[in-house]
Each structure stands twice: as structure tokens, then as C-alpha cells.
Amino acid sequence: MDQVSKPKRGNDLAVRVRKNRPSPDAQSLAVLGHAKWTLENTTDVHVAKQIRDTAESLRRHFRSTASALAKEDHVSFGEISELKARVTEAFTIRQRAAEVKLRAERRLGQLLGGCHLRGGDRRSKMRQANSQLQTWGISKDQSRRCQRIASIHEADFESYIANQLRQDLELTSAELLRLAARVAACETECITRRFRPDFAGVKERLARLVKQGVTVSCVFISPPWPAIVAPPLGCASDFEAETTRRFFHALRTLPVPEVCAPRAHLHLRTPWEWHFRAAKILHGWGFTCRSAAVIPVRPRAYGDYWRTAYDLLLLGVRGRLSFRDTSVVGWLGSHSDLTDAPDADICEAIARVSPGPYLTVLGTDCPAGWTAVTDE
């Protein structure tokens, strides 16, 4: 009697996948596509909450489906092409569901932020807010998280979605909440460092020096540069843009050329992020940018490239004035303690190479023998 040959393990797995595993279908993609369109047009909190819950259910389902298929693909040593296609399809739908979930949470936060859940009499309003959230099936913690996601600038939110999808990385609410925290910190720093962008006090004091006929051969300027938001995702608020514009206009219009001798050095401290603008300001003051020294500082925010841990001290020259000591290396400070080099130390290094008299503008510390002009 002829023996019936047993099917190979790979074929057996393929049969089992076709019979027992629910295949991701086009209906799920259609539901997600319609949900995304609905979110853009709805003003109903309940609808946004339902879409969020539906998307989360689909995301969990296809996450477990993709995990199970991946395990079987591993057992079959990757010999079944159908399994690979199913894993890819499940991951794609899972990402689409995660995107709709995040968009729903953002829309939910926008709607909740406009509901004025707090205000007036504290006790009665708090009870009213809690009852409203309970009616929608939303917890206070979920409301808080959704409103934090909604606080992210639209360009930053869309950039996060596009970057994660392009790199096949998982879309998560936790990462968006971390982004919201970084943006809030940047805006807080920008507000707390709210310099007077017109530099009225500095202009007045410099004009007084010009009236008195004071001229100097060396100027060190250390402006309170606007806060830098690390790429690729940053804070793009109207407040920051307007303040930055006013800052650069005020800095350009300082009467620095009038107080400098025909042959002079100008040392301008700037973060790397602003050094192109700083070089243009130097040129506008009538100085030629000749070189730069490096000032080690505490590492700044993370980004996609080198983590910046230095400022630049741009050298502007007017009238072909050379250094007194040309052996000095353009490296001021040390990374050993990871502390910012104070302006007084930089002034001492400048005094080695540039002739006096000396003037420091907007510096935080001034050594003996220097004339200080601040905005205080």
C-alpha cells in the first residue's frame, strides 16, 4: 500500500493561516479613512471620543494580529511569502489606526479646550465639569492628556506623524506628550527670558558715550539671544517670531559703529544657531568678520545632528587692526565641568589679543578696566 506523503511544515502553516487567521480587509481601511474625514468636520465631543475608541480597538487588534503572524513567520523561517504580506498589511492598518487615534485625541483636546470646563465659582464649576466629562465617558486624566496634545502646533504635529510613518516607527500618544512638554518648556523659557527687545537703556548709554566723545578700540557684545528650539520639531508660536524679529532689529540699530575707533576689534558672542545672522549684523556695523573662537558651554537640546555644546565668539575687524598676540588659540574654556564660560573670563582672553580701551555691551559680568553698558 502506497504511503501518503505528509505535507511539509511550511505548507501546513500556510493552510492554517488561510483558515484560522482573520485577514485584514479593506473594510477596516475604509472605516479609518471615513473616521479621519469625520474628525476634520465634527464639533461633537461624543463623536470624537467614539472615533478615538474605535481607532484604538483596531490598533490593538492589528497589533496582536501582526505579532502572531510575525511569530509564525519566524517559525517557518520566512519561507511563506503570504505570511510576510499579511504581516506588512497588518502593520500598515495598525499605523493607520494609530494615526486616526492621535488625530482624534488632538481634536478631542481642541473641543474640550473650548468647553470652558473651569471658571466662576470653583466648587460648582468643578462639579459641572466632572459631570460633563462623565457624560462623554472621559476621565479627567484623559481630558488633560488630550488638551496637552492639542496644544502642540499643527506644523509640529504633522511633522511628527510624517516622520514616524516615513521611518516605519510606531505612533504613540506618549511621544506626543513628551513633545508637548518640550514645547511648553521652550515657550516658558522664551517668556521668562523676556528681554526688552528695543534695548532702550543700551541705546541711551551708548549715545551718551558718543556725545562725550568716548571711542574704544575693542568692544565685546554678549546679547541675550532668543531661546533656540531644537530641531526637527519646535515651537513656532507667533509670540516667539515677533519677539525674535524685534530683537534682531534692535540689535542692528545699536549705535556701535559711532563709539568705535576707525581701527577697532568687535567680539560678538553668539550661539551656533544664530551665527549666520550675527555675521550679517557685524557687517552692518561696518566690520569685516575675520575669524571665530569656540566657547564650550553646557550641551543644549537634542536634535537630529551633533548636539551643540559651544558658542562662537565672532571677530569683526575695522581698519586692518591685527592681534597683539597671534599665538593665542581660538578655544576659550573647558568642557571638564560642563559649565558656561562667564563673560569676565572671555573679556580677559580678549584683552590678551585686542588693544584698549575696552567696552562690554550687554555682558553679565565685567572685569576691572572695562566700561560696561547694560540694559538695566
Mean pLDDT, range 170-174, rounded to an integer = 84
Q: Is the dihedral of CA 174, 177, 179, 185 positive or negative?
A: negative
pLDDT score at 130: 59
Nearest to 331, CA basis, from 317, 321, 339, 341: 341
Give Cα separations from 245 to 84, 226, 242, 248, 251 (angstroms): 53, 10, 5, 6, 10
List the one residue out of 352, 333, 335, 356 whose CA is nearest residue 343: 333
Does the pLDDT of residue 216 top 70, yes or no?
A: yes
Q: Which band of pLDDT confidence, cut at 50, 70 and 90, is reported for residue 120?
A: very low
- Cα 101 to the chain's mean position, in Å? 23
CA distance 219 to 267: 6
Mean pLDDT of the chain: 77
Answer whether residue 258 shows pLDDT above 90.
yes
In this structure, the number of other CB atoms found within 10 A of the CB of residue 244 comes to 17
Q: Which residues contact 132 (CB under 8 A, 6 or more apart)?
A: 115, 117
Residue pair 258/271 in contact (Cβ under 8 Å)? The answer is no
Write the CA distances from 173 to 100, 108, 157, 184, 285, integer angstroms.
11, 13, 11, 16, 49
Lowest mean pLDDT among 86-95, 113-122, 288-297: 113-122
336-357: pLDDT as tens digits = 544 566 778 889 889 999 998 9
Give the residue with greater pLDDT, 269 vs 160. Answer: 269
Query: What does the DSSP 8-state code read for residue 253?
Result: T
Asked if 90 and 62 count as a contact pair (C-beta separation under 8 A), the reply is yes
Domain coordinates in residue numbering, the chain: 9-188, 200-373
Give the CATH fold of the 200-373 domain.
Rossmann fold (3.40.50)
What percent of the chain lies above the pLDDT cut of 90? Answer: 22
pLDDT above 90: residue 314? yes
CB of 147 closer than 8 Å to CB of 113? yes
Q: How confident is the model at residue 136 (pLDDT cuts 50, 70, 90)?
A: confident
Confidence label for 116 from pLDDT (cuts 50, 70 and 90): low
Does residue 299 register a pLDDT over 70? yes
Sign of torsion, CA 56 59 65 66? negative
Residue 362's region, left for phi above 0, alpha for psi from -120 to 50, else beta, is: left
12-43 tens-digit pLDDT: 544 444 444 444 456 777 777 787 788 877 88
Sheet holding 358-361, edge to edge: 288-296, 310-318, 260-271, 216-221, 358-361, 370-373
DSSP per position, 104-160: HHHHHHHHHHTS--S-SSHHHHHHHHHHHHHHHT--HHHHHHHHHHHTS-HHHHHHH
The residues pairing with 318 across neighbouring beta strands, listed in sequence order, are: 264
